[in-house]
Amino acid sequence: MDLVAKYQGVVGRVFGNENSGSSEDSYVERLLDRISNGVLAEDRRAAMLDLQSVVTESRAGQMAFGAMGFPVILSVLKEERDDVEMVRGALETLVGALTPLDHAKGPMNEVQPALMNSDLLSREVDNISLLLSLLSEEDFYVRYYTLQLLTALLTNSPQRLQEAILSIPRGITRLMDMLMDREVIRNEALLLLTYLTREAEQIQKIVVFEGAFEKIFSIIKEEGGSEGGVVVQDCLELLNNLLRNSASNQVLLRETMGFDQLLSILKLRGTTYRFTQQKTINLLSVLETMNLLIMGGPETDLGRDANKLTNKTVLVQKKVLDHLFMLGVESQWAPVPVRCTALHSIGDLIANHPKNLEELASKRLGEEPDLEPALNSVLRILLRTSSKQEFMAADYLFKNFCQQNPDGQTMLASTLILQPQSMIYAPFEEDINMSFGSMLLHGLTTGENEGDLETCSRAASVLSHVIKGNNQCKEKVLQIQLEAPMPTLGGPEPLLHRMVKYLALASSMKSKDGKSSTSTSENVFVQPIILKLLIIWLSDCPNAVQCFLDSRPHLTYLLELVSNPTTTVCVRGLAAVLLGECVIYNKSNASGRDAFSIVDAISQKVGLTSYFLKFDEMQKSSLFTSAKPFLPRKPLTRSTAASMAEIEDVGNESSDQKNENHPMLTSVFDSPFVYFMKRLEADIREKIVEAYSSPKTQVTVVPAELEQKSGENDVDYIKRLKTFVEKQCHEIQDLLSRNATLAEDLAKTGGNNSSPLERKVSGGSDRVQLETMRRDLQEASQRIEMLKAEKAKAESEASTYKNLAGKTESDLKSLSDAYNSLEQANFRLEKEVKALKNGDIEALKEEAREEALKESEAELNDLLVCLGQEQSKVDKLGNRLRELGEDVDKLLEDIGDDIGADDGDDEEDEE
Amino acid sequence: MSYAYLFKYIIIGDTGVGKSCLLLQFTDKRFQPVHDLTIGVEFGARMITIDNKPIKLQIWDTAGQESFRSITRSYYRGAAGALLVYDITRRETFNHLASWLEDARQHANANMTIMLIGNKCDLAHRRAVSTEEGEQFAKEHGLIFMEASAKTAQNVEEAFIKTASTIYKKIQDGVFDVSNESNGIKFGYGGLPGPSGGRDGAASQGGGCCS
The interface residues of chain B toward chain A in range 122-161, judged by CB-CB distance below 8 A, are none
* Residues A736-757 pLDDT 10s: 777 777 777 776 665 544 444 4
Which chain A residues touch B103 with a CB distance below 8 Å?
none
Q: Give the sign of the dihedral formed by CA A62, CA A63, CA A66, CA A72.
A: negative
Q: Do B43 and A205 touch (CB under 8 A)?
A: yes
- Show the 3-state SS of A748-762: HHHCCCCCHHHHHHC
* Residues A315-374 pLDDT 10s: 999 899 999 999 998 888 889 999 999 999 999 999 989 999 999 998 888 877 778 899
**Residue A169 distance to chain B (closest CA, Å):** 5
pLDDT for A301: 67
| Higher-confidence position of A14 and A171 | A171
pLDDT for A231: 94
Q: Which residues contact B114 (CB under 8 A, 6 or more apart)?
A: B81, B82, B83, B84, B101, B104, B141, B143, B144
* Residues B131-145 pLDDT 10s: 999 999 999 999 999
Using the Cβ of B201 and the Cβ atoms of chain A, whether some distance falls under 8 Å is answered with: yes
Q: Whole-number mean pLDDT of chain A?
A: 81
Which chain A residues touch B42 with a CB distance below 8 Å?
248
> How many CB atoms lie under 10 A from the CB of residue A598?
26
For residues A343 and A394, is the Cβ–Cβ distance under 8 A?
Answer: yes
* Residues A407-421 pLDDT 10s: 999 999 988 877 665
Sorting pLDDT into bands at 50, 70 and 90, what band is A505? confident
* Residues A532-588 pLDDT 10s: 999 999 999 999 999 999 888 899 899 999 888 888 888 899 999 999 999 889 888
Residue ranges of E strands in B51-142: 53-62, 81-87, 113-119
Q: Give the sign of the dihedral formed by CA A445, CA A446, CA A447, CA A451.
A: negative
Residue A760 has pLDDT above 50, yes or no: no
- Quick one: what percent of chain B has pLDDT higher than 90? 56
**Amino acid occupying residue A551:** S
Which chain A residues touch B41 with a CB distance below 8 Å?
202, 205-206, 209
- Quick one: what percent of chain A has pLDDT higher than 90? 23
Indicate which of B26, B74, B77, B200 best probes the interface with A, i.e. most A CBs within 10 Å of its own CB.
Answer: B74
pLDDT for A426: 53
Dist. CA A826–CA A820, nearest whole Å:
10
The maximal CA–CA distance of chain A, rounded, in angstroms, is 208
| Higher-confidence position of B146 and A672 | B146
The CATH number that applies at residue B10 is 3.40.50.300
Helix A84-98 / helix A140-156 crossing angle, nearest 10 deg: 20
Which chain B residues touch A172 with a CB distance below 8 Å?
74
Dist. CA A786–CA A783, nearest whole Å:
5
Dist. CA B132–CA A398, nearest whole Å:
67
Residue A392 has pLDDT above 80, yes or no: yes
**Amino acid occupying residue A491:** G
Output phi, psi for B85, to 5 deg.
-110, 135
pLDDT for B88: 95
Indicate which of A256, A261, A309, A312 best probes the interface with B, i.e. most B CBs within 10 Å of its own CB.
Answer: A256
For residues B21 and B11, is the Cβ–Cβ distance under 8 A?
Answer: no
For residues A866 and A873, is the Cβ–Cβ distance under 8 A?
Answer: no
**Residue A168 distance to chain B (closest CA, Å):** 7
Residue B198 falls inside a structural domain: no
Which residue in chain B has the smallest CA separation from A177?
A: B182
Rounded mean pLDDT of A853-879? 87
| Domain A21-101+110-168 in this protein, CATH class | mainly alpha
pLDDT for A212: 92
State whether residue A629 is helix, strand or coil: coil
**Amino acid occupying residue A103:** H
Residue B51 falls inside a structural domain: yes
pLDDT for A654: 38
Residue B208 falls inside a structural domain: no
Nearest alpha carbon to residue A57 among A23, A89, A102: A102
Give chain B's domain count: 1
For residues A112 and A100, is the Cβ–Cβ distance under 8 A?
Answer: yes
State whether residue A592 is helix, strand or coil: coil
Nearest alpha carbon to residue B83 among B151, B181, B155, B182: B155
State whether residue A81 is helix, strand or coil: coil
Residue A904 has pLDDT above 50, yes or no: no
**Amino acid occupying residue A872:** S
Residue B27 falls inside a structural domain: yes
Dist. CA A880–CA A886, nearest whole Å:
9
Q: Give, in order, the Cα–Cα distances in Å from A780 to each of A275, A744, A767, A775, A888.
A: 80, 21, 19, 8, 122
Rounded mean pLDDT of A594-605? 84
Q: What is the pTM of this model?
A: 0.73
Its domain, for residue B12, covers 3-185
Distance of CA A318 to the CA centre of its chain: 40
| Higher-confidence position of A448 and A391 | A391
Q: Which residues contact A123 (CB under 8 A, 6 or more apart)?
A: A1, A160
Residue ranges of E strands in A257-365: 364-365
Q: Which of A177, A256, A313 sits opposite B6 (nearest CB)?
A: A256
> How many CB atoms lie under 10 A from the CB of residue A704?
6
Asked whether this chain's domains A21-101+110-168 and A490-508+524-629+665-698 adopt the same fold, the reply is yes
Dist. CA A408–CA A144, nearest whole Å:
57
* Residues A880-893 pLDDT 10s: 888 887 777 777 77
Dist. CA A287–CA A345, nearest whole Å:
7
Q: Do A173 and B203 touch (CB under 8 A)?
A: no
Distance of CA A211 to the CA centre of its chain: 46
Indicate which of A128, A162, A202, A300 best probes the interface with B, i.e. most B CBs within 10 Å of its own CB.
Answer: A202
* Residues B4-42 pLDDT 10s: 888 999 999 999 999 999 999 999 898 988 878 888 888
Length of chain A: 911
Domain locations in chain A as residue ranges: 21-101+110-168, 490-508+524-629+665-698
- C-alpha atoms less than 13 angstroms from C-alpha of A889 in its C-beta half-sphere: 0
Using the Cβ of A255 and the Cβ atoms of chain B, whether some distance falls under 8 Å is answered with: yes
User: For residue B65, what is the DSSP state?
Assistant: S
Q: Residue A164: is it exposed, middle or buried by C-beta count within 10 angstroms (0-12/13-18/19+)?
A: buried
Nearest alpha carbon to residue A293 among A273, A268, A320, A272: A320
Using the Cβ of A654 and the Cβ atoms of chain B, whether some distance falls under 8 Å is answered with: no
Sorting pLDDT into bands at 50, 70 and 90, what band is A449? low
Rounded mean pLDDT of A680-704? 71
* Residues A612-641 pLDDT 10s: 888 888 888 877 776 655 455 667 777 777
Output phi, psi for B7, to 5 deg.
-110, 135
**Residue B211 distance to chain A (closest CA, Å):** 24
Q: Do B181 and A170 touch (CB under 8 A)?
A: no
Cα end-to-end distance, chain A, whole Å: 144
Lowest model confidence (mean pLDDT) among A639-653, A832-846, B167-181: A639-653
**Amino acid occupying residue A564:** N
Q: Which of B73, B78, B201 sits opposite A255 (nearest CB)?
A: B201
Using the Cβ of A248 and the Cβ atoms of chain B, whether some distance falls under 8 Å is answered with: yes
For residues A72 and A36, is the Cβ–Cβ distance under 8 A?
Answer: yes
Dist. CA A483–CA A371, nearest whole Å:
30
Q: Do A255 and B70 touch (CB under 8 A)?
A: no
Rounded mean pLDDT of A434-458? 80
Q: Do B45 and A255 touch (CB under 8 A)?
A: yes
> How many CB atoms lie under 10 A from the CB of residue A111?
18
| Domain A490-508+524-629+665-698 in this protein, CATH class | mainly alpha
